[in-house]
Amino acid sequence: MTSVSGKRAVLIAGPTASGKTAKAITLAGRRDALIVNTDSMQVYDVLNRLTARPSAEELAAAPHHLFGHVDPVVRYSTGAWLFDVRKMIQQAHEKNQELIFVGGTGLYFDALIKGFALIPPIPHAEIQAAEEMIQGLDADERMALLVEKDPETAARLKVADPQRVVRALSVLSATGKPLSAYQGDKSPGLLEDYWLEKIVLMPERGLLRRRIAERFEAMMEQGAVEEVEVLLARKLDPSLPAMKAIGVSEISAMLAGDISRAEAVEKSVIATRQYAKRQSTWFRNRMSDWQFIDPFA
């Protein structure tokens, strides 16, 4: 993409454990750029190790933004991320700095480039009310409630998971309009007038699988268990996105004595590999025009 404004941004996507952080820091050092988190789990506080957020040394090596800035009790959305990103883009433009967006959440990249539905900010009280409304309901009951309240949005959902149902109910309550009414009304992409360098890091599959296993074992040694203990002490709703981070339920089961440490590691590694496979499929299907690189070749 050619920019008439001279503004530039690098987008670095890739499955978990593909070396995105190292690549971003190297580029930031060469170009005096700001690194912006583009991963839906690395936004959460507490989960430093379990979400593989950059270490203290890595954070000090270059300016990093939107890492760990959200309390785990919050259901952070793509819209909220875009709202925060808009401010980062403005700051970088004022300082004449290049931007590097790095992460593994394909939907964030999609919304950043192509735009996202224009939904007004929803008051926290409305979100809490929606959460109370679905408390104790199973998937079928949540779907039945959504069909009653917002049948058009319900028809678009394959599974009535708590986060999507809460989103639909809170939008309806706060705005008086169903979520489906906003779906076709997209804002333009935030990088519309930027020159973009779009990269997907895609290591060889066998190497990626080994890196995932080695990294999770390191997480266990470096504080992942203590992070889960902090979350459990807060008695957070299990349906919150932060509580669904890979490793939280597995380590919770270990702490409860239901499974061994080795089983917790094994289950977490399997879940991470499955997640990496889903990420890779998204990138290949939705980012076919990006430059694919094996960072370890």
Binding annotation for ATP: 14-21
Contact 259, 267 (CB under 8 A): yes
Region of residue 254 (left: phi > 0; alpha: psi -120 to 50; beta: else) = alpha
For residue 208, which amino acid is it?
L
**Residues sharing a CB contact under 8 Å with residue 178, sequence separation 6 or more, in sequence order:** 150, 152, 153, 168, 171, 172
Question: Rounded to whole angstroms, how far apart are CA atoms 219 and 217?
Answer: 5
Q: Where are the beta strands (DSSP E) in the chain?
A: 8-13, 34-37, 64-65, 99-103, 195-201, 291-293
Long-range pairs, 143-149, Cβ under 8 A, ≥24? 145/169
Q: Token pair 């800035």 is at which residue? A: 69
Task: Please enumerate, by residue number, every residue annotated as part of a binding site for substrate.
Answer: 16-21
Residue 135 phi, psi dihedral angles, 5° rounding: -60, 130
How many of the other CB atoms lie within 10 Å of CB of 195?
Answer: 16
Short-list 40, 39, 38, 47, CA closest to 72:
47
Task: Please enumerate, by residue number, every residue annotated as part of a binding site.
Answer: 14-21
Please, what is the Cα angle at 66 between 60 and 71, to 5 degrees? 110
